[in-house]
């Protein structure tokens, strides 16, 4: 056997490639924190109105001359935004008094703004700049069902047993949402299913559900001719729109803060509903609608629905591609550096293998959003780092299993030949087993890479960007073209990675494995 043939390798990988991968991994992880000194970070939730308000806040700051402003859209529910605000991952986001008081602070009612700020001060936060409108929760029925049943109040729903409700995940779990409503009105017998807010309207139109939760500024109420049921027992609190921010924001960004004061009282229910309609019914983008309001003070005619091709090749494509590649490549490299040694350990030590393989298999079954929520809490931040760690965990299983199986499959004759040449265990691993096992290991790496490209779309739920940003926005407004505009580039990226690995198979891995086995 020619030891010199694989002398320039690390675990069977060409030394130059392995060293370059280590350098790239280090650089990617170092670049995860924002390089800017002190940007103004704006957050928003995962529904139309919050996207628009986030763009209005961002645009207002930019018009005031604050150049370093970021909008992190669609970060999830109120709890994630609140956590992000406390950790400093964002500086400001739009919310509602009822949500802040009951859901986030755990109060029993909605106090004055002064008292609300006294409660928020404990967290280093504050609330202010009332925007001038209220967007309350409500329940709604289709007009035909309402006319047939004669129901006009939520208390009427307790009279029947076979109603089907399609409620948004956040509403189902908020203390001021379904739990409070069910207890106050005795709705325990109602059949309830969880539906994304944008999809619930379509389910109602198709007759798949009878009742949905709505926001009172939703344009879909008029579009689908829904009957909003009155909250006759006054369960829902006031939901006045305002901004929640870090208390040091006015000192850190005085120009932007001064400009944001002009938003106070500037939005009415009618204007907000018209902006929501421009996005959900006419196909305008969040940014375009916000820009029209900022420049004209009212909602001008919408820009018209973009074609699928225009959405796919939109101006955000380079940014989203770079973010997606960062997530995929850094998590994949991390999983390679951890997964291959784990696979070798599992093969070398059967007792360790009995818990290594089940452990990585168990991690694969953890729901992605639950894993992200856990990592956000553990790291006390949102963005790329928790997303990369989640993707790293999901990529471990194929790499660990393929490594363990490939190393096990190396023939006993080859190992005996190495012993005859006086090679110790480390040399046999480095010079014989790893080069011969490399094709099998690479199969696991390729599988992990493709899995990561698809799974990386979940990163958009915590502000890490990538193609999932379009998918999440499409879900918010039930826009299939916008969802496809995120899914198609992800599929193309997965295909390109597959072609890249095939090229590496032909040019690097196969010749390296052949030389390692040659005599």
Does residue 34 have a pLDDT over 50? no
Q: CB neighbours (10 Å) of residue 298?
A: 10
Span 67-86, pLDDT tens digits: 889 898 888 788 888 988 99
Give me the pLDDT at residue 44, please. Answer: 93
Does residue 12 have a pLDDT over 70? no
d(CA 226, CA 152): 11
Give me the pLDDT at residue 2, please. Answer: 39
Radius of gyration for the chain, computed over Cα atoms and rounded to the nearest angstrom? 27
What is the SS3 string spanning 383-442?
CHHHHHHHHHHHHHHHHHHHHHHHHHCCCHHHHHHHHHCCCCHHHHHHHHHHHHHHHHHH
Which secondary-structure segment (H or E) carries 94? strand 92-96
Does residue 493 have a pLDDT over 50? yes
Span 235-246, pLDDT tens digits: 999 899 999 999
- Mean pLDDT of all residues belonging to the chain: 85
Per-residue pLDDT, averaged over 294-314, amounts to: 72
Closest CA relative to residue 133, chosen from 218, 12, 37? 218
Closest CA relative to residue 327, chosen from 23, 28, 30? 28
Does residue 228 have a pLDDT over 60? yes
d(CA 394, CA 344): 19
d(CA 298, CA 370): 40
- Runs of H (alpha helix) within 232-285: 249-252, 254-260, 269-280
Q: How far is CA 464 from the centre of its chain?
A: 7
Give me the pLDDT at residue 434, please. Answer: 85
Give me the pLDDT at residue 16, please. Answer: 53
DSSP state of 518: -
pTM, 2 dp: 0.76
Give me the pLDDT at residue 91, please. Answer: 94
Residues 6+ apart with CB under 8 A from 271: 133, 293, 298, 299
- φ, ψ for residue 142, nearest 5 deg: -60, 150
Span 427-480, pLDDT tens digits: 888 888 888 888 889 899 999 999 999 999 988 888 788 999 899 888 877 788
The burial class, CB within 10 Å (0-12 / 13-18 / 19+), for 480 is exposed
Sort residue 12 into left (φ over 0), alpha (ψ -120 to 50) or beta. Answer: left
- CA dihedral angle for residue 102, residue 105, residue 110, residue 111, rounded to 10 degrees: 170
Give me the pLDDT at residue 446, please. Answer: 92
Give me the pLDDT at residue 177, please. Answer: 87
Span 380-390, pLDDT tens digits: 777 888 999 99
DSSP state of 96: E
d(CA 226, CA 211): 10
Which secondary-structure segment (H or E) carries 125? strand 125-128
- φ, ψ for residue 419, nearest 5 deg: -65, -40
DSSP state of 306: P
Give me the pLDDT at residue 6, please. Answer: 40
3-state SS, residue 214: strand
Give the model's confidence band at 111: pLDDT under 50 very low, under 70 low, under 90 confident, else very high.
very high
More confident residue, 174 or 325: 325
């Amino acid at each position: 056997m020619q030891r010199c043939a694989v002398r320039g390798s690390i675990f069977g990988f060409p030394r130059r490639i392995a060293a370059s991968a280590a350098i790239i991994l280090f650089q990617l992880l170092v670049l995860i924190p924002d390089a800017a000194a002190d940007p103004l970070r704006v957050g928003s939730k995962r529904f139309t109105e919050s996207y628009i308000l986030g763009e209005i806040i961002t645009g207002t700051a930019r018009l005031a001359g604050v150049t370093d402003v970021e909008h992190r859209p669609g970060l999830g529910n109120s709890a994630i935004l609140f956590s992000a605000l406390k950790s400093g991952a964002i500086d400001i986001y739009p919310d509602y008094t009822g949500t802040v008081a009951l859901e986030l602070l755990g109060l029993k009612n909605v106090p004055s703004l002064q008292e609300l700020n006294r409660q928020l001060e404990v967290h280093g936060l504050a609330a202010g700049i009332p925007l001038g409108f209220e967007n309350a929760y409500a329940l709604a029925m289709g007009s035909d069902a309402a006319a047939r049943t004669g129901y006009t109040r939520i208390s009427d729903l307790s009279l029947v047993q076979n109603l089907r409700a399609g409620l948004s995940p956040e509403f189902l779990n908020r203390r001021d949402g379904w739990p409070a409503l069910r207890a106050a009105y005795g709705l325990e017998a109602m059949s309830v299913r969880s539906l994304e807010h944008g999809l619930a309207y379509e389910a109602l139109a198709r007759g798949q559900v009878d009742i949905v939760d709505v926001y009172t500024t939703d344009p879909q109420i008029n579009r689908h001719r829904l009957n909003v049921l009155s909250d006759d027992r006054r369960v829902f609190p006031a939901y006045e729109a305002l901004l929640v921010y870090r208390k040091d924001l006015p000192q850190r960004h005085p120009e932007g803060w001064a400009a944001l004061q002009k938003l106070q009282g500037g939005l009415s229910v009618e204007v907000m509903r018209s902006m929501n309609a421009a996005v959900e019914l006419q196909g305008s983008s969040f940014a375009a609608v916000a820009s029209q309001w900022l420049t004209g003070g009212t909602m001008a005619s919408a820009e018209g629905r973009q074609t699928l091709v225009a959405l796919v090749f939109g101006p955000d494509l380079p940014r989203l591609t770079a973010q997606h590649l960062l997530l995929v490549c850094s998590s994949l490299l991390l999983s390679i550096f951890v997964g291959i040694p784990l696979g070798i350990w599992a093969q070398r030590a059967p007792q360790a293998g009995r818990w290594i393989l089940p452990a990585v298999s168990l991690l694969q079954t953890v729901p992605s959003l639950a894993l992200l929520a856990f990592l956000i809490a553990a790291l006390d931040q949102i963005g790329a780092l928790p997303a990369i760690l989640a993707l790293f965990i999901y990529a471990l299983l194929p790499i660990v299993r393929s490594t363990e199986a490939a190393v096990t499959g190396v023939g006993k004759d080859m190992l005996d030949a190495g012993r005859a040449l006086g090679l110790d265990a480390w040399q046999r691993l480095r010079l014989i087993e790893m080069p011969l096992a490399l094709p099998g290991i690479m199969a696991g790496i390729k599988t992990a890479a493709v899995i990561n490209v698809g799974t990386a779309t979940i990163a958009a739920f915590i502000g890490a960007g990538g193609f999932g940003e379009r998918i999440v926005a499409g879900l918010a407004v039930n826009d299939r073209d916008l969802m496809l505009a995120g899914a198609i580039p992800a599929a193309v990226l997965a295909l390109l990675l597959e072609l890249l690995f095939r090229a590496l198979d032909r040019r690097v891995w196969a010749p390296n494995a052949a030389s390692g086995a040659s005599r």
